[in-house]
Structure 1
Amino acid sequence: MNAEELIQNYQSGARDFSAILLCEANLSRADLCGANFSQAVLSITNFSGAHLCGANLSGAKLNVAKLSGADLSKANLNGAILNVANLIRTDLSEASLINASLIRSELIRADLSHAILTAANLSEADLREATLRQVDLRQANLKSANLRDAVLIASNLEGTSFHGADLTRADLRGANLVNAELRQVNLSQANLSGANLKGANLRWADLNGADLRGANLEQARLSGASLYGADLTHASLLYTNLIHADLTQANLTGADWTGADLTGAALTGAKLYDVSRFEVKADEITCDWVDVSPNGDGSKVLRFSAQEAYQFFNATSPLVEITIDRAIDADAHCALADVYREIIRQTPIINRPPSIEVSSRRTTLSFRIERDELLFPTAYVVILPFNDAVPTQQTICNLVQMLGSENFIGLSVRHSSQIEKLAKEIKQNLQEITDLKFSQKSKTKPESSQAFFASPTRTTLRNFHNRTLKIYSHPQFGRSLLNVP
């Protein structure tokens, strides 16, 4: 059967052309919608501009076929072989290409929106400016493929291999890239905002200037990756491997990198406002300065020596710890929750409830904060619910007054200036909360709750150098243990 006979048969109502052998035929612009070409051999056939919507081409051989501008929307191409095929501007929207082979095929500006390409082989394929919105490419092979300026918004790319692929300026907003293979991939200027890259392998990837706002990079492997100038605002980098990564001038505002490994990373010029620098591993880092201004405009810059950079990124989270000489019960626990909810509403000094550790005789409340400058103000506020509030607060005021007036004999001008600046900031924070009043309304509380807040307390501070300072300890603290039989 030749091309003319096939078209005549189709026009006469025939639709089954399965296993047909028709190589090098010219079927350009032919109307063959819904035809069955399953297992057909159609290599080097010209289907340019042909209408094949809904056609069955499963298992068909279409090597080096010309399908540019063809309509293959909703077509079945499962297991089809389209190696080196010309699919430029082809409409493959909603098509099924499960296990299809498209090695080195040309898909420039092709439309594959909502297509299913699970486990398809697109290695070295040319997908420049292709549209792949919400496409299913799970476990597909796109090794060394060209996807420059491609649109992959909300696509499912879980476990997909992009090793060595070019995704420059690609739009991957909201894409699922969980456990994807992205080694040595070029993602410079790509938009990955809101993408899920959990567990992805991005070793030695180029992410210069990439948009990763709100992206999930938990447990991702980014060792040796370049993120120069990348936007990681509010990204999740929990336990991410960033060994020897280049984060120079990257915007990490609001990012969470708890547990991340930053060994050997470059961080000079990074924007780190509202970023906890605690619980990260940061040995041998390179960092001359960072921007911690709220707007990332350089209005607040911290400059470091090598040792200061190490201390800054390997700090211990500052902590205010209140130990109550009594175990908390259910009534006291509820009252404590109410107490701190009211305090949080009244002051910006604290914004989260404490962690609570309970033993058979004592209760410990721990308040983790971001900066040493907030240690005294935080302690001043969080002791408010307890009867020991007045002596504890008085001790805090005395210590701050001493800090501000001490002569600091033997200290360098630089260190004296730093202490003076610290004291000034602490006083400002304390001034803001001096008028904060709090009433426990003890008459409405159960007796056990009243007893809990009246129990002896001990307040301890720990700074980011892991040094502790006992602020106040009630004279009767620990005495109750002496009466235990």
Structure 2
Amino acid sequence: MTIEELLEKYATGVIDFVGADLAEANLSGTNLSGINLAKANLSVANLSGTNLSDADLSYAKLNVARLSGANLTGAIMNYSSLNVANLIRADLSRAQLREATLVRAELIRVDFTRADLCEANLNNADLREATLKQANLRHANLSEANLRGCSLKEANLETANLSAADLGYTDLTGSNLRDSELRQTNLCLSNLSGADLRGANLRWADLRGANLSWADLSGAKLSGANLIGADLSHANLANASLVHANLTQAKLIQVEWVGADLSGAMLTGAKLYATQRFGVKTEGITCEWIDLSPAGDRSLIQNFNSESTKEFFNATPPTIRIVVDAPLDHEANFVFAGTYYQISQEYQGLKQPPNVEIDSRRTVFTFRVNGDEALLPTAYMAILPFQDAAIAQKNIYTMVDIIRKEMINRQNLKSAQLVKQIIILLQDSMRKSKIIKQTNKKIEIATKLNFFQVPTQVILTNSSAQTLVIYDSPNFGKRFINQSINKDYSAEQESQDSSHLMPSLNMIVDFVKGFYYINQ
């Protein structure tokens, strides 16, 4: 069939040209919208600027074809062959290219928005600055492809092969890279914020300066990866392998990494504010110093030697224990859950529910916090539903004031910064506590139940495994003879000198000295 015959028939409304042989044909600039060229041979054809929107090109041969600037929006190109084809600046948005082959194809600045490239072969393809927003690349082969400067925002790359590909400066925000192959891939300065990288293979990948904030890397393989200066704040690295990874000056603020293996990793200069320091394998790590400042501005530096490094990364989880002198019953449990859910909506420090231990006499609630500096401010909120709250909170406020005076007298920069941080956090707790008491009806309901009226103890444990009883009711462990005594319990407490219910100055100072911020 000649080009003239095809165009003449198409002009009369004929669109079915299945299996047509149009190799080396020149159809540039023509309008062939909706045409059916399934199984057609268009190898080496010139289709530059051609309108092939909604065309059927499934199983078609387009090897070495020229399709630069072509309109292929909504086209069906499943199982088509486009090896070494030129599609520069072509529009393939919403196109279907399932199992299509585009080996070494020129795809610079192509628009693949919402295109379906599931199981497509793009080995060695040039996709520089292409747009692949929300594209389906599940199980696609992109090994050794050039995707530099691409937009892959919210793209599905699950189980895709991207080994040795160039993804420098790419936007992978919110993308799905679960179980993908990214071995030796260049991801330098890429944006992977919020990406799903669970189980991904990133061995020896270059992630220098990459943005991995809020990314899920649980179970990912990052052995030997270069993460110098990468932003991993709020990332999930639980059970990830980071053996011999380079995390020099990486931002690891509020990272979850329990179960991660950092054996032989480099962590010098890493920013580790509010990141747990337990449940992590750290044998043979290199770490001369870390930045513990909330803003990662090096205002709070911790220096190490080989022994202190080992101690630092084998810390005790900082916890708050509220011991209630009564077993938790079903009604109290229901109110407890609802009350703390409402508190957590206002105060993120209590977002995770506590561990609960119950025996025949008592109930122990254990709250885990991210860092030592949050112990006192979080305890201020945790005690809120209990009748003992007023005195316990007064103790906490007084203790912080004692710490402030004592640490300032020491004229230690780290101590002063720590105190400032605790004061800021406590002020936030006090403000939110006031709001909750004024607006939350569940607090009012809780305080009327017997369970929340009984005596309590509030015990803190810091990262050095030191404990401090910040409140111990004088009636704890006693049993009331009758209900009238129980009713007078709060008034009796209020009349007592709170100084008799507080730990000594030395106990408070020793406890704070155990915070990981302070040099021993």
In the aligned structure 2, how far is the partner of 1:24 from the partner of 1:70? 16
Other-structure match for 1:203: 203
Other-structure match for 2:39: 39
Other-structure match for 1:441: none
In the aligned structure 1, how far is the partner of 2:77 from the partner of 2:382? 66
In the aligned structure 2, how far is the partner of 1:215 from the partner of 1:430? 26
Other-structure match for 2:488: none
In the aligned structure 1, how far is the partner of 2:19 from the partner of 2:396? 91
Shift of the 350–118 alpha-carbon distance from structure 1 to 2, 3 Å rule, reads closer
- String of CA shifts for 1:101-131, please: whole Å, max 9, x gaps: 1111111111111211111111111111111
Q: In the alignment, residue 113 of structure 2 is paired with which amino acid?
A: S
In the aligned structure 1, how far is the partner of 2:459 from the partner of 2:337? 21
Q: Is residue 157 of structure 1 aligned with residue 157 of structure 2?
A: yes
1:72-83 superposed matches below 5 A: 72-83=72-83
Please report how far the alpha carbon of residue 210 of structure 1 lies from its aligned counterpart in structure 2 after TM superposition: 1.0
Shift of the 347–19 alpha-carbon distance from structure 1 to 2, 3 Å rule, reads closer
Other-structure match for 2:169: 169
- Decide whether the 8 Å contact of 2:193 with 2:212 is kept in 1: yes
Other-structure match for 1:112: 112
In the aligned structure 2, how far is the partner of 1:231 from the partner of 1:447? 44
In the aligned structure 1, how far is the partner of 2:425 from the partner of 2:8? 90
Aligned-pair Cα RMSD in Å: 4.2
Shift of the 132–452 alpha-carbon distance from structure 1 to 2, 3 Å rule, reads closer
The secondary structure found in structure 1 opposite 2:357 is: strand
In the aligned structure 1, how far is the partner of 2:389 from the partner of 2:46? 88
The secondary structure found in structure 1 opposite 2:6 is: helix
- Decide whether the 8 Å contact of 2:395 with 2:470 is kept in 1: no
In the aligned structure 1, how far is the partner of 2:180 from the partner of 2:47? 34
Please report how far the alpha carbon of residue 82 of structure 1 lies from its aligned counterpart in structure 2 after TM superposition: 1.0
Shift of the 274–422 alpha-carbon distance from structure 1 to 2, 3 Å rule, reads closer
Deviates more, 1:8-17 or 1:264-273: 8-17
Please report how far the alpha carbon of residue 238 of structure 1 lies from its aligned counterpart in structure 2 after TM superposition: 2.7
Shift of the 314–5 alpha-carbon distance from structure 1 to 2, 3 Å rule, reads same
Please report how far the alpha carbon of residue 446 of structure 1 lies from its aligned counterpart in structure 2 after TM superposition: 9.8
Shift of the 152–392 alpha-carbon distance from structure 1 to 2, 3 Å rule, reads closer
Structure 2: 5+ residue stretches without partners: 438-443, 480-520
- String of CA shifts for 1:293-333, please: whole Å, max 9, x gaps: 22221111111112212221221202233444532113444
- Decide whether the 8 Å contact of 1:279 with 1:316 is kept in 2: no
Q: Is residue 329 of structure 1 aligned with residue 329 of structure 2?
A: yes
Please report how far the alpha carbon of residue 189 of structure 1 lies from its aligned counterpart in structure 2 after TM superposition: 1.0
In the aligned structure 2, how far is the partner of 1:62 from the partner of 1:391? 77
Deviates more, 1:363-372 or 1:51-60: 363-372
Other-structure match for 1:369: 369
Shift of the 24–458 alpha-carbon distance from structure 1 to 2, 3 Å rule, reads same
Other-structure match for 2:462: 463
> Percentage identity across aligned positions?
47
TM-score normalised over the length of structure 1: 0.81
In the aligned structure 2, how far is the partner of 1:102 from the partner of 1:446? 65
Q: In the alignment, residue 231 of structure 1 is paired with which amino acid?
A: D
Structure with higher helix content: 2
In the aligned structure 2, how far is the partner of 1:29 from the partner of 1:417? 75
- Decide whether the 8 Å contact of 1:139 with 1:158 is kept in 2: yes
In the aligned structure 2, how far is the partner of 1:395 from the partner of 1:50? 74
Please report how far the alpha carbon of residue 425 of structure 1 lies from its aligned counterpart in structure 2 after TM superposition: 8.5
In the aligned structure 2, how far is the partner of 1:381 from the partner of 1:71? 60
The secondary structure found in structure 2 opposite 1:356 is: strand
Deviates more, 1:47-56 or 1:345-354: 345-354
Please report how far the alpha carbon of residue 133 of structure 1 lies from its aligned counterpart in structure 2 after TM superposition: 1.6
Total equivalences in the alignment? 467
The secondary structure found in structure 1 opposite 2:129 is: coil
In the aligned structure 1, how far is the partner of 2:349 from the partner of 2:121? 55
In the aligned structure 1, how far is the partner of 2:53 from the partner of 2:121? 22
In the aligned structure 2, how far is the partner of 1:199 from the partner of 1:190? 19
Q: Is residue 178 of structure 1 aligned with residue 178 of structure 2?
A: yes
- String of CA shifts for 1:247-284, please: whole Å, max 9, x gaps: 11112223322332222221111122232223333222
Structure 1: 5+ residue stretches without partners: 406-413, 439-443, 481-485
TM-score normalised over the length of structure 2: 0.76
- Decide whether the 8 Å contact of 2:187 with 2:206 is kept in 1: yes
- String of CA shifts for 1:361-411, please: whole Å, max 9, x gaps: 43212132344466577778867846799799989999x989x99xxxxxx
Q: Is residue 292 of structure 1 aligned with residue 292 of structure 2?
A: yes
Please report how far the alpha carbon of residue 290 of structure 1 lies from its aligned counterpart in structure 2 after TM superposition: 1.5
Deviates more, 1:67-76 or 1:165-174: 67-76
Q: In the alignment, residue 251 of structure 1 is paired with which amino acid?
A: K
In the aligned structure 1, how far is the partner of 2:260 from the partner of 2:210? 20
- Decide whether the 8 Å contact of 1:103 with 1:123 is kept in 2: yes
- Decide whether the 8 Å contact of 1:328 with 1:452 is kept in 2: no
Shift of the 420–268 alpha-carbon distance from structure 1 to 2, 3 Å rule, reads closer
In the aligned structure 2, how far is the partner of 1:213 from the partner of 1:23? 49
Other-structure match for 2:135: 135
- Decide whether the 8 Å contact of 2:208 with 2:227 is kept in 1: yes
Other-structure match for 1:251: 251
